[in-house]
Structure 1
Amino acid sequence: MRLDKYLKVSRLIKRRTVAKDVSDQGRVLLNGREAKPGSVVKVGDTLEIGFGQKILTVRIEQTADSARKENAEAMYTILKEETRKSEPLL
């Protein structure tokens, strides 16, 4: 499954176009490497997604072409959620 589609179906990111933009900006790492929107994801892969000051690390548990809102959270397990500290201005 494509990375941008997975992010949308799992509801980690609301829209596929936004998922594509985030990936193009280099804010998504797939197994520790920068991922493109067309990168193939599979069960067991680790995603690290940068949302502004927040970094979310998840492990892919399932892939599906579509998922109901209630079942979307079962597609991944949150491994780590951290907040970056902003650098002080000099």
Structure 2
Amino acid sequence: MATMRLDKFLKVSRIIKRRTLAKEVADKGRIHINGQQAKASSNVKVGDELTILFGQKKVVVRVEKLQDSTKKEDAGSMFVLLKEERVGEES
């Protein structure tokens, strides 16, 4: 079964626009793969569920396919958005 580095998947799928930013988010412990905390170097495969915390927003996606590169309009087909919710972190 094919796998891809988490930071590369996030960039190619355009969930996070830049790989350096994807690495930063992962290194801060804000990304989980199937409930396990993930690093930028963690591998993702088709069927994995990613939970990503972006500031006040929590996004859950399922990996649908892996591609080394993609056009902007095809990037959305690499994952399915399962849930998007605001995290109640009042400041």
> How does the TM-score come out when normalised to structure 2?
0.94
Secondary structure, aligned partner of 2:10: helix
Give the Cα–Cα distance (whole angstroms) in 1 for the partners of residues 63 and 27 of structure 2: 20
- Sequence identity, in percent? 58
Give the Cα–Cα distance (whole angstroms) in 1 for the partners of residues 23 and 89 of structure 2: 26
Which structure's CA Rg is the greater one? 1
Return the match for 2:75 from 68, 72, 78: 72
> How does the TM-score come out when normalised to structure 1?
0.95
Give the Cα–Cα distance (whole angstroms) in 1 for the partners of residues 81 and 45 of structure 2: 16
The number of residues matched between the two structures is 88
Structure 2 residues not aligned, in runs of 5+: none
Code of the residue aligned with 1:5 in structure 2: it is K
Question: Where does structure 1 differ by over 4 angstroms across 4 or more consecutive aligned residues?
Answer: none
Structural RMSD (CA): 0.9
Higher strand content, 1 or 2: 2
CA shift at 1:85, angstroms? 1.1
Return the match for 2:14 from 4, 11, 16: 11
Structure 1 residues not aligned, in runs of 5+: none
